[in-house]
Amino acid sequence: MTPLDRPSAAEVAAAVRSGERSARSFIEESLTQIGRDEATLHCFNEITAEQALARAEEIDAAVAKGEDPGPLAGVPIALKDNLCTRGIATTCSSKILEGWLPPYDATVVQRLHQAGAISVGKTNLDEFAMGSSTENSAFGPSRNPWDTGRVPGGSSGGSAAAVAAGYVPLSLGSDTGGSIRQPAAFCGTVGLKPTYGLVSRFGLIAFASSLDQIGPFANTVADAALMLESIAGHDPRDSTSLPTQPSAYLAALGEGVEGLRVGVISDFLTDADATIEVAVRGAAEALCAGGATVEEVAIPELMNALAAYYLIAPAEASSNLSRYDGVRYGLRVDAPDVAKMNAATRQAGFGPEVKRRIMLGTYVLSAGYYDAYYAQAQRVRTLVAEAFNRAYAQFDVLIGPTTPTVAFPFGAKVDDPLAMYLSDLYTIPSNLAGHPAVSVPFALGEGAMPIGVQLLGPALGESVMLRAAQVVEAAQATGVRGPVAMSEGSAR
């Protein structure tokens, strides 16, 4: 059974709110599926079955009283393990935070609880969200449900795989340079990175604070819009939170793309696999058939984003991760003095990729190199944002590939960090600019693996962008959603 054979998040919520089905029955189905396949896929760092069933009972009791538990009533969801959950371990898939129990919930966790959603667990990720394959997790990699010999992407690989495997109809990830959209493309799901500041980062354990953003994974664009409505909005506890009210993203979906101007980013097609270029052009044709005006547009500045990102993000990571010193929380390795204790704790607690980025970030922030590297990267960031602004003066939405290739086999890039970093070549520009973008599965490529097409919009342009995404979704090639890899004949 593929994910689309199961009810959507909207259908689950409607059935629970009407009393047609109990929230408990949906949670039990989710936990049964997890129990059957999780030993192979390893989507989760922790499964919170007891808490989920208890919350389902509360939802069902509210419905029995005639109360409305919310737009996501009874919907099973999964949370990336860098989102704080009160009394539930939040590790960032790092030994340095193994077993840490936050004393509070992240704002997005609170909002989903208020909307009636029920978390069934915390999903695996690349350590501190640093990676593109989930191979950097201290607790072992997650596997792609389409082919368990291939990576699910990263850093939100566990969240993407949980939706692709049919464990849950919705999950949350975080996206610093493509960590929602890239695994969504690899796993054949919808993955949405909202405008920076639209969704509160309070309670998200920071990687790079000026780039991080939380967003949904879903099987459909409509479900992604529904989840976005539940988590978006101003939060006074986040100083970067925008003072805006979320739009009615779901209601706008039916408006179509008649009259929209769509730009195909030609620079993104140069290095992409041939099958991926064909998919992007097919998606563009679908938008044209829907009434949009489609033209190619060159934005060469976007190809400089990768180099700038890998100076800015490590610099911010170096600053953010300095708090893990063995004193306040997390792992502590005893040593004769404080300095040696700090060093021993970090040596034991951080993995190779995290250490690599901390050292790079510390270097580019050091005296004598700050202007040459970090400051110059910020200038490039400005050029990227300005190039986007010029493009959006001509077009309402941009379109291109999400990734240069389909999901690659385990081990293919672990010894070549630069090759791994290139997986985010097409996703990073939107993070530097703070703009929204969404990956939609559209076709199958090499190895019958899913291909994601990326729709990009200007700041707070989610409504129009999602309208275009839904048209692309409706035109997708037959078979793009399944069967998932747990069927007969899958790699194990």
Q: Is 155 a catalytic residue?
A: yes
Of 239, 231, 205, 249, the C-alpha closest to 108 is 231
Integer Cα distance of 74 and 27 in angstroms: 8
CA atoms within 13 A on the CB side of 66: 0
Tokens representing 185?
A: 């493309």
Instruction: Name the packing angle between helices 23-41 and 9-18 (round to 10°).
Output: 150
One of 30, 80, 137, 171 is an active-site residue; which one? 80
One of 22, 155, 171, 200 is an active-site residue; which one? 155
Beta bridge partners of residue 190, listed in sequence order: 218
Beta bridge partners of residue 217, listed in sequence order: 171, 191
Element (H, E) at 45: strand 44-47
With H, G, I as helix, E, B as strand and everything else as coil, classify residue 51. helix
Tell me phi and psi for residue 342, to 5 degrees: -55, -50
Q: Is 179 a catalytic residue?
A: yes
Integer Cα distance of 9 and 18 in angstroms: 14
Integer Cα distance of 430 and 440 in angstroms: 16
One of 94, 179, 230, 439 is an active-site residue; which one? 179
Q: Is 355 a catalytic residue?
A: no
Q: What residues act catalytically? A: 80, 155, 179
